[in-house]
Structure 1
Amino acid sequence: MNESEPLSLVWLRRDLRLHDNAALYCALKSGRPVVPVFIFDRTILDDLDDRTDRRVEFLVQEVNRLHNELAKMESTIIVRYGHPVEVWKELIEQYSIGEVFANRDYEVYAKERDKAIGDLLKEHNIGFQTGKDQTIFDQDEILTGKKTPYTVFTPYSRKWHDKLDTFYLKSYPTEEYFGQFWQTKPTPVPTLTDMDFQPVKEPFPPRTVPDTLLDNYAKTRDFPALPESTSELSMHLRFGTISIRDLSRQAKEASNKTFLNELCWRDFYFQVLDHFPHVEKNSFRRQYDQIEWRNNEDEFDKWCRGETGYPIVDAGMRQLNTIGWMHNRVRMITASFLCKHLLIDWRWGEAYFGKKLRDYDLSANNGGWQWAAGSGTDAAPYFRVFNPTLQAKKFDPENEYVEQWVPEVNKGDYPKPMVEHTMARQRAIDTYKKTLAK
């Protein structure tokens, strides 16, 4: 291919794969030589306190994987570390760019970033195309009869499942066009050390779903001690190292509506964030911003450390602190405890999860925390308060999960509960009722 020929650049963000990638497919079909681009965004990375952040290590691993895949095709991926606008200014100077392709993101920062890049490219007469990839349905594809966004999950999910056919689950056949990759020498990839990060060196979850998991998912998914009770694919979905279409198709072919429903929740929270961006910093239901939170910092610290005296809560927080992941049932229990038992602002917990979770995704994290606080889209009343003791008996009946993470639970040095459940439940209900009655 002619070195001076204009290139099609594919800006990868949450879609770190060559297989079934919408933006990559459009670029490969453009007729120009194609080069993927990835930016380690300092706007995000500079704010990370933990320099052993698992997400950064995972990104380096996956970008190197792409680098190696492309090198085998005598091509490369352009990888930079910096602020996106500055990086794109450099790329415009260094390369002849015909068009840039990317897959849509729905977070406020991402939208602002993409607008800035789009404006910059337009100044240089370079096209910027974005499309759907990380969701099955996005933007205005699932609307009510009045053509408005859904704000309750159940009716949204009915329409989502009804519309889910082979058209939306079909993969983009990118492999057929790999000959369009620009033939050039591989370029270096920044290391963790280059970006002032250090490795954790823990294995990341596999990117496949065993059929046995799908067969038993509905029965096992709420029990945190069971091996392979959940897929742990959330990290791969977050960074797009697997295809949402492939995964949804596998679940649909297995007639596993329970698993599909979890993917439906993911789409739902994306569209809530897209249509109602105020949820990023405020309650979906605005009146809940008036809740008189206690926000006791000492109690918050005990919750963070897993020293509440409630074994299932402490087990969850210690699992999170140790491996950067927590079982979904336990996420609900720990979140409910913080918001309802301790009356601490859900945003404190959301931010802590955001620092620790290797699969952190703003839309899902925000949606889950607002669900726990009662301030979100969920139709359940505010007086839903999980009893941690009963939750443990139901979902960890043999105490296996608790004993794995809280080995001192049956010893004399394990702390007593920091708050009594019945009192805390009533205090939460009274506080919410007082606020919402105004």
Structure 2
Amino acid sequence: MLTNNHHHVIDTIELKKIDVQDLQIGMFVSELDRPWLETNFWFQGFLLKNQQDIQAVQDQCHYVYIDVRKQSTLIPQYSSPPAPTPEKKPAFYNPVQPNRSDAFLKQQINHAEILHRNTSTVVKSFMEEAKFGRTINTVLAKKSVATCVDTLFEAPNTLLLMTQLKALDSYTAQHSMNVCIYALALGRQLNLSRTELNNLGLCGMMHDMGKMRIPYEILTKPHHLSRDERLIMETHTTEGSRLLMNTTALYKEVVEVAYMHHERLDGIGYPRQLKATQITPYAQMVAIVDIYDAMTSNRVYRKGMSHLDAIKILNDSAQAGHLNQYYTLKFIECLGVYPVGCLVQLRSGEIGLVLESNRNAKLKPKIMILKDANDRLCNEYIIDLAMMSENNAAQHYEIQKIIQPDECGIDLFKYYASGSITGFELF
């Protein structure tokens, strides 16, 4: 906590307040004078390596807290580090990238991965309870969603990364988890309050609980369903609403979304062919993210489509009057052209993982390079395409296309499980 003499003590390490005009190369900035979300620094905790780093801080802060124990003695004062080797990395200036704490970034990604895994396990347990007619633990459900909401505000991109960890053998549980995350992302784009986000996230998490009342052979059939099987599958909306209606301490909106998430604004949905004014806002939101995750996921009977194909279908459906146009536009906006978690192939032939979208340069996200131009796994490092100078090297780092993991032999599950996703180099 802050003391009267403007010192900050955390874990016995003293942080000293300093005016940004007094910053010097080699100082370690541990905290800013404002929440990091209000700046273009991704995370707090970074070493000032050159004068450009200092300028970036001065442009956004009045004062900061420095950690003298982490001050560099290796970087000469007022000198810049040597330029990166052109053969290994692109030559460009990025005022944001060096300002990211390696340890803190790893911590946030690890936290999001653990949260996603644990919450997915919780969702599976809910589905087991629903399958056998037992009561769902609503306290645990609300706590899980609240933790996701907290993570969404603290590190939104790391949470969205987890939506790409999709396994065919646990589609239903992971789909519910992803719909929860995507719904929260949409809700944040719509500036919903924390209370509303907690409500909406729970709606997303619980929207498909009725599928546990569907015969297993229909739920997992590796081919398209027959007409009779389709009619049985469609009963998951009424089964889900009935199940949740008998669950204590749930918001009424959760029941409504389970019942309405397959309704469409023009009345062509099910189970009751409701129209726009009859469908709740949360149900309209969950419908959009539900469709998106289903389209981009591999199923036993088909391969998932690309992000760009999926958002085109969403946009077409909205234009045709099936989905809410405003919510659809906002969802597409929050994902961006290159959504967090997708793999992209650069003009150079290298392959990278999108870590963060740039609002002012939608075609130039921050990416982590995973494979070199010779299709070989490499030591991971991050580049910000929006900060690359306009030169010949920059042209090699233009995104050519989104690529599916199985197309390039990258298993994101193994990357996260091995810790490789946090073993990157910052420069």
More strand by share: 2
Does 1 or 2 have the higher relative contact order (CA < 8 Å, sep 6+)?
A: 1
**Does TM-score exceed 0.5, indicating one fold?**
no
Normalised by the size of structure 1, how large is the TM-score? 0.24
* TM-score, structure 2 as length reference: 0.25
